[in-house]
Structure formats: C-alpha cells, structure tokens
Amino acid sequence: LDGQELYSSLVGGFNASNLLAVYVVSKMLGTDKINALTQMSLLKPPAGRFERIPARDGITAIVDYAHTPDALENVLKTITHVRTGGEKVITVVGCGGDRDAAKRPVMARSATSGSDRVILTSDNPRSEDPAAILRDMEQGLDPIEKRKCLSIVDRREAIRTAAALAEPGDIVLVAGKGHETYQEIQGERHPFDDRLELKEAFAPTT
C-alpha cells in the first residue's frame, strides 16, 4: 500500500478488499500512514471466521461462519489459493431450518464445486426435520456430484467423519455456524460449538 508491504493474519481476497477500504478511509481521516499500517497488521479475524483449529498430520482444519452460497464459495476460493498440491478439501456444511429453502440445493452445489468430499449435515434445523433439509440440499446435485457426498444428520458425527477421512496434508472445512455455541432444535438451544467439536475430532486417542 503506497509502497509499503502489509502483513496480516486475515486470509482471503475479501479481507484484502476490506483492508484496502480501511486504509483509504484512514488516509481520508488524516491518519499517519505508518501508524495506520501498523494497526492494520495487528487486526485479528473474528471468532469463527476462517478460524484454524489444531489438527494432526499437517491437516489444516478450519471453522467458518459461511452460511450462504456466496460466502461458502468465497471461503472455498480462499482455500484453493492456499492449497500447495494434491491435498483434498473435505467440507462439512448444512442449511438452517425455517429459512430460505431455495438456497439449500445451491449451498450443496457450492460445496461440491469447491471440494473433493462433502458431508451434508444439520445446521440449526429449528422446527424442521433435519433429514428433510438434507434431502432438499441433495436436490441440487447431479449424479457425479452426489458421488462426492455423504449425508449425515448428526452434526457431531459428520465432523468426526470428516476428520477420519482426512489424510496428512488435507484441508477440512466446517462451515455454517462459526462462532455459535449452540444448535437450535425444536425451539431449544443445545450446547454445540464447531470449534470444540473439530478440535476434539482431531484429538489424539489414548
């Protein structure tokens, strides 16, 4: 920026655009360039936004709040840019209940277009049957895409399955809930944190 390099822990083209906007506004406000760049370099991503989780065997494990087709595509594009070779991308994703049902098949297509394996699962089913939500998602897939997919209603089991499928160097993305610490089912919020679940799925067995 203006001849200076900026190092940031914020990943992805969308974050680069955000940082550029911040820099432009800071200049308009008269902020010293070096001070602005220093403060920008210290910015940390919000919880559950492309948040990396400790994993084994060089596996990259990521939790992200992406819960729309566009957001999911952006995250998967970012992952594509950080891939270094033949590692697989395994994505766990679902759709919320009592919300726009038309996006369900689109979410499934977005997931399969950017992943090698996809596990469709529950998000916040709310008052709906989670299995019915998965069937709606599957409607968006052609026969080739369906061969990439598993449908597992239980989100915990889906996350653990993704971890079990991952080989050294692979990338596992759990998308949709991000920072949330609950799963909403039939009017009740049950404790559930994708970050903790993914960390536990990769924890060494004793």
Q: What is the pTM of this model?
A: 0.89
Per-residue pLDDT tens, the chain, 206 aa: give them. 777 888 877 776 777 888 889 889 998 899 988 898 888 888 888 999 999 999 999 999 999 999 999 999 999 999 998 888 889 999 999 999 999 999 999 999 999 999 999 999 999 999 999 999 999 999 999 999 999 999 999 999 999 999 999 999 999 999 999 999 999 999 999 999 999 999 999 998 76
Q: 4 with 33: CB under 8 angstroms? A: yes
Quote the CA–CA distance of 37 and 58 in Å, as a whole number. 32
What pLDDT was estimated at residue 42? 86
Number of H helices, E strands in the chain: 8, 8
Domains of the chain: 1-44 (no CATH), 51-202 (3.90.190.20)
